[in-house]
């Protein structure tokens, strides 16, 4: 009998894209070469066949003896995943406490690339269309609108563009309305670093050179800190050009909604072609080809949302994180990570520079500069003759809104007059309010009943466009009844407070001639629809823009000269660690939309709390003093980045189960020098999507390895499967 430990078979560990705690051993048949680390392989797993990666580093889970060991199946004909990508997966797993396979899954995010070539034929409108078009169903009409006469698209793409199911497309195909045609291959033309860019001002030139010089010289982090409109994009393009000249790949991370046509157009102007894009709006086929191109090295520049960080780069030599302060870099579910921080880690592992660009760098980043860990390059001036607008406060207690007949008003007479003047000059105005819908709350005037979500601890938000009361957490939607559901009173329901729809209603009464655009997440616009809308605004097709923070991301509207912030106080309440900082960043970014070219801009901020320190700092232009004070208060409280913080959210469908689990975790709480546990307490949103939630916070000194504490802590408590514990290291939202 062979000794179990004395394996005779040739084994390799394979990591699968599943939330398992480590790699599993598989046998390599005698007639096959041992695949190298990083090789993509197919293996049997239970009754399934899965793709995985031959892995070094992760904990090996299997202690299977030779007899039970399964063979590796066919190797996948793709280049192996390079070591630095593998180390990155391991690092992120170790830091976030997510299973390594769950992180690997993000690196294998184009499954079908691993399953062969994919479809090679697409569909175009066929000649039969004209004759039959008079009896088309509405769905088929949409399909034909989505399809082209000459450029073939896949069935999935046509379905996606038309907003119908693939079966409808198949039906149109079977009816002879669409015919097959070979798909053109997806190609990624190589950007040309040596096309002539803009000519820089001396300040820009110096900054561009500093960034470009760092490329090819190992790991470094440089903060490009420039006021809005200072030309940060053009400046960091020079670092991109330098990495391209050296033959490397580049990743530019952008907030999801920042990936608009405007940015892509500017890239194309500078480099002659568009970069590869990576975000949720990219079709499956293009995703697959992009993923393969990144792996083989044929894709040179990726412009992407946070998940692009996990692509299988062949030779990554630079990462730029644009709008590095943006909170959308924090992924809040699944593997919980902060993409800006992980970009720095990726640069360190890969030995290349990282550029963090922002007009309002995060506190974390500023402190890293102060400590000398990051370099800083500053652009103090707006480009050309544009000057930064002054921010003026409107004290709403002194200049309260005047109602228009029965219609409640939210715009003070000061802002109304400024808007009239701006519009009369033929310039554009923007009203900013970070709240979707019509009103954040509906209540009964008679009995005081408030419409609340049955699944969440949250009010239902009235949406008049959709004619619904909607929960912004879970999407639960109901029609607004004519009478109060509790006391039955008719005509007693009142809408409280404004959302963008309500501001739009008021603006239509006050400025009837102005052409309006309401821009919020409710548009559900795809990247290309959003690009079309921003182009329309830029080209003067809109006079008055009313929008949420979707508008704060890097848009450039040359004729926009007035920004009115409808409610500057919004977002300042609440126990969020970063509430002040975030409000500051958001308002400063919106203010930066005004007067970006030759025309002077004005910004007015409506507030009921003009003495609030965030509001004061904005009005007085005391950016540094404000952020220093924020930093001091965090240091005093030992909060990040001075101390470490992790949140444990315990949730379950039954309140008792969640409470019992949270109590058990609380009893097992770690203690020791520099370790403190707060809670358990009901989470601020105690009910979310039907789950009851409790929260514990672990706060430690910087010198404590918080992950080790978390691992030890959670391993001491065994919880029933009905309870979920989500660990969030460096939490950003405290809901
Ligand atoms: P930021 O990102 O710092 O807000 P942008 O990079 O968006 O600034 O630049 C603002 C505008 O000024 C853009 O339209 C950009 O093309 C233009 N711009 C910046 N620098 C130059 C330059 N040196 N020459 C010509 N146009 C420039
Ligand atoms: Zn809800």
Residue 301 has pLDDT above 80, yes or no: yes
Name 367's Cβ contacts closer than 8 Å, sequence gap at least 6: 631, 641, 642
Q: What CATH number is associated with residue 515? A: 3.40.50.300
Q: What is the number of the ligand closest to the CA of 478?
A: 2
- Domain co-membership, 529 together with 427: yes
Centroid of ligand 1 to alpha carbon of 378 (angstroms):
15
User: Which residue has the least CA distance to atom 19 on ligand 1?
Assistant: 231
From CA 345, how far away is CA 43, in angstroms rounded?
31
**H or E, element range at 41:** strand 40-45
Cβ(226) – ligand 1 distance below 6 Å = yes
Name 491's Cβ contacts closer than 8 Å, sequence gap at least 6: none
Q: What is the number of the ligand closest to the CA of 591?
A: 1
- Contact between 321 and 253 under an 8 Å Cβ cutoff? The reply is yes
Q: What is the pLDDT of residue 575?
A: 61
Cβ(233) – ligand 1 distance below 6 Å = yes
- Domain co-membership, 240 together with 308: yes
Q: In the predicted model, what is the mean pLDDT of the chain? A: 89
- Contact between 56 and 13 under an 8 Å Cβ cutoff? The reply is yes
| pLDDT-based confidence at residue 297 (cuts at 50, 70, 90) | very high
Average pLDDT in the 305-315 region?
Answer: 96
Ligand 1 atom at minimum distance from 201 CA: 23
pLDDT in tens, 471-517: 988 889 999 999 999 999 998 999 999 999 999 999 999 999 999 99
User: Which residue has the least CA distance to atom 17 on ligand 1?
Assistant: 231
Residue 155's domain comprises: 121-182
User: Which residue has the least CA distance to atom 2 on ligand 1?
Assistant: 232
Q: What is the number of the ligand closest to the CA of 472?
A: 2
Q: What CATH number is associated with residue 80? A: 3.40.1440.60
Q: What is the pLDDT of residue 8?
A: 74
- Domain co-membership, 507 together with 549: yes
In a domain, 453, yes or no: yes
Cis ω before 2 (30° cut-off from 0): no
Cβ(198) – ligand 1 distance below 6 Å = yes
Centroid of ligand 1 to alpha carbon of 593 (angstroms):
13
- Domain co-membership, 617 together with 665: no
Centroid of ligand 2 to alpha carbon of 98 (angstroms):
27
Q: What is the pLDDT of residue 333?
A: 86
- Domain co-membership, 568 together with 424: yes
In a domain, 196, yes or no: no
Cβ(375) – ligand 1 distance below 6 Å = no
Tell how strand 643-652 and strand 691-701 pair up.
antiparallel
Q: What is the pLDDT of residue 131?
A: 53
User: Which residue has the least CA distance to atom 26 on ligand 1?
Assistant: 198
Q: Which of 6-20, 472-486, 544-558, 620-634 has the highest mean pLDDT?
A: 472-486
Cα→Cα distances 306→10, 280, 510, 552, 696, Å: 38, 11, 41, 18, 27
Select from 607, 638, 669 the last residue of a domain: 638
Q: Which of 113-127, 229-243, 572-586, 617-631 has the highest mean pLDDT?
A: 229-243
| pLDDT-based confidence at residue 670 (cuts at 50, 70, 90) | very high
User: Which residue has the least CA distance to atom 9 on ligand 1?
Assistant: 231
Residue 689 has pLDDT above 60, yes or no: yes
Cβ(556) – ligand 1 distance below 6 Å = yes
- Domain co-membership, 344 together with 287: yes
- Domain co-membership, 235 together with 285: yes
Centroid of ligand 2 to alpha carbon of 652 (angstroms):
15
Cβ(735) – ligand 1 distance below 6 Å = no
Q: What is the number of the ligand closest to the CA of 691?
A: 2
Residue 6 has pLDDT above 60, yes or no: no
Of 532, 591, 585, 526, the closest CA to residue 560 belongs to 591
Which of 444 and 4 is assigned the larger pLDDT? 444
Which of 280 and 451 is assigned the larger pLDDT? 451
Cβ(229) – ligand 1 distance below 6 Å = yes
Average pLDDT in the 439-447 region?
Answer: 94
Encoding tokens for residue 446? 């008679």
Residue 133 has pLDDT above 70, yes or no: no
- Domain co-membership, 528 together with 406: yes
Cα→Cα distances 361→331, 347, 356, 381, Å: 19, 19, 8, 16
| pLDDT-based confidence at residue 706 (cuts at 50, 70, 90) | very high
Q: What is the number of the ligand closest to the CA of 452?
A: 2
Q: What is the pLDDT of residue 61?
A: 60
Average pLDDT in the 629-654 region?
Answer: 90
Q: What is the pLDDT of residue 7?
A: 60
Of 139-153, 182-196, 355-369, 455-469, which gets the smallest average pLDDT? Answer: 139-153
- Domain co-membership, 405 together with 346: no
Determine if residue 527 is left, alpha or beta; phi over 0 gives left, psi from -120 to 50 gives alpha, anything else beta. Answer: alpha
In a domain, 275, yes or no: yes
Average pLDDT in the 697-720 region?
Answer: 94
Ligand 1 atom at minimum distance from 199 CA: 23
Centroid of ligand 1 to alpha carbon of 383 (angstroms):
6
Structurally, the chain folds into a number of domains equal to 6
| pLDDT-based confidence at residue 2 (cuts at 50, 70, 90) | very low
Cβ(200) – ligand 1 distance below 6 Å = yes
Which of 578 and 133 is assigned the larger pLDDT? 578
pTM: 0.88
In a domain, 115, yes or no: no
Residue 98 has pLDDT above 70, yes or no: yes
pLDDT in tens, 61-86: 667 777 788 999 988 889 999 999 99
Select from 379, 404, 425 the last residue of a domain: 379
Q: What is the pLDDT of residue 166?
A: 84
Distance from the Cα of residue 198 to its chain's centroid: 29
In a domain, 509, yes or no: yes
Select from 613, 638, 663 the last residue of a domain: 638
Considering the chain, what percentage of its residues have pLDDT values greater than 90?
61
């Amino acid at each position: 009998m062979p000794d179990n430990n004395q394996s005779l078979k040739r084994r390799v560990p394979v990591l699968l894209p599943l939330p398992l705690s480590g790699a599993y051993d598989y046998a390599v048949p005698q007639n096959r070469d041992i695949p190298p680390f990083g090789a993509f392989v197919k293996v049997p797993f239970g009754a399934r066949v899965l793709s995985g990666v031959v892995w070094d580093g992760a904990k090996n889970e299997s202690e299977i003896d030779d007899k039970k060991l399964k063979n590796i199946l066919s190797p996948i004909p793709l280049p192996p995943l390079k070591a630095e990508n593998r180390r990155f997966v391991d690092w992120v797993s170790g830091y976030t406490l997510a299973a390594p396979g769950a992180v690997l899954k993000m690196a294998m995010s184009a499954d079908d690339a691993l399953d062969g070539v994919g479809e090679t034929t697409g569909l175009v409108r066929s000649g039969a269309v004209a004759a039959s078009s008079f009896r088309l169903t509405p769905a088929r009409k949409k399909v034909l609108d989505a399809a082209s006469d000459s450029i073939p698209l896949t069935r999935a793409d046509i379905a996606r563009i038309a907003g119908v199911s693939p079966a409808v497309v198949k039906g149109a195909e079977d009816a002879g309305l669409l015919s097959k045609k070979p798909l053109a291959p997806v190609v990624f033309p190589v950007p040309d670093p040596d096309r002539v860019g803009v000519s820089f001002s001396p300040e820009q030139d110096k900054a561009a050179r500093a960034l470009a010089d760092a490329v090819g010289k190992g790991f470094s982090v440089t903060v490009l800190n420039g006021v809005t409109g200072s030309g940060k994009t053009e400046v960091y393009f020079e670092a991109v050009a330098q990495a391209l000249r050296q033959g490397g790949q580049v990743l530019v991370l952008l907030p999801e909604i920042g990936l608009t046509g405007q940015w892509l157009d500017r890239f194309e102007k500078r480099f002659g072609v568009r970069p590869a894009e990576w975000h949720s709006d990219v079709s499956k086929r293009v995703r697959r080809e992009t993923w393969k191109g990144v792996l083989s090295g044929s894709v040179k520049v990726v412009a992407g949302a946070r998940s692009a960080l996990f692509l299988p780069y062949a030779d990554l030599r630079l990462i730029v994180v644009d709008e590095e302060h943006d909170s959308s870099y924090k992924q809040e579910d699944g593997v919980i990570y902060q993409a800006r921080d992980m970009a720095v880690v990726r640069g360190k592992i890969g030995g290349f520079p990282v550029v963090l660009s922002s007009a309002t760098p995060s506190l974390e980043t500023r402190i890293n500069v102060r400590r000398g860990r990051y370099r800083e390059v500053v652009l103090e001036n707006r480009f050309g003759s544009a000057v930064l607008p002054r921010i003026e406060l409107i004290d709403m207690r002194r200049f309260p809104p005047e109602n228009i007949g029965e219609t409640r008003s939210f715009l003070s007479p000061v802002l109304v007059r400024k808007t009239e003047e701006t519009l009369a000059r033929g310039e554009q105005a923007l009203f900013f309010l970070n709240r979707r819908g019509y009103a954040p709350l509906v209540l009964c005037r008679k009995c005081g009943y408030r419409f609340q979500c049955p699944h969440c601890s949250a009010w239902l938000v009235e949406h008049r466009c959709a004619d619904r009361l909607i929960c912004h957490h879970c999407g639960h939607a109901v029609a607004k009844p004519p009478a109060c559901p509790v006391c039955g009173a008719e005509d007693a329901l009142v809408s409280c407070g404004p959302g963008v729809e309500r501001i739009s209603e008021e603006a239509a009464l006050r400025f009837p001639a102005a052409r309006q655009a309401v821009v919020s997440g409710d548009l559900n616009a795809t990247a290309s629809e959003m690009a079309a809308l921003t182009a329309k605004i830029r080209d003067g097709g809109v006079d008055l823009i009313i929008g949420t923070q979707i508008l704060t991301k890097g848009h450039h509207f040359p004729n926009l000269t007035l920004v009115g912030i409808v409610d500057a106080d919004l977002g300042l309440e609440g126990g969020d660690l970063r509430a002040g900082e975030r409000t500051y960043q958001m308002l400063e970014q919106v203010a930066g939309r005004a007067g970006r070219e030759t025309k002077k801009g004005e910004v007015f901020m409506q507030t009921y709390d003009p003495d609030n320190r965030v509001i004061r700092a904005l009005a007085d232009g005391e950016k540094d003093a404000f952020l220093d004070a924020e930093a001091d208060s965090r240091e005093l409280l030992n909060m990040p980045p001075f101390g470490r913080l992790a949140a444990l959210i315990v949730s379950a469908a039954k309140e008792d189960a969640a409470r019992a689990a949270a109590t058990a975790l609380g009893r097992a709480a770690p203690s020791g020098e520099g370790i403190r546990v707060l809670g358990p307490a009901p989470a601020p949103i105690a009910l979310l999507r039907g789950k009851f939630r409790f929260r514990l916070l672990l706060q430690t000194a910087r010198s404590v390895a918080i992950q080790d504490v978390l691992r030890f802590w959670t391993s001491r408590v065994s919880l029933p499967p009905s309870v979920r514990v989500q660990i969030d290291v460096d939490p950003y939202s405290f809901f």
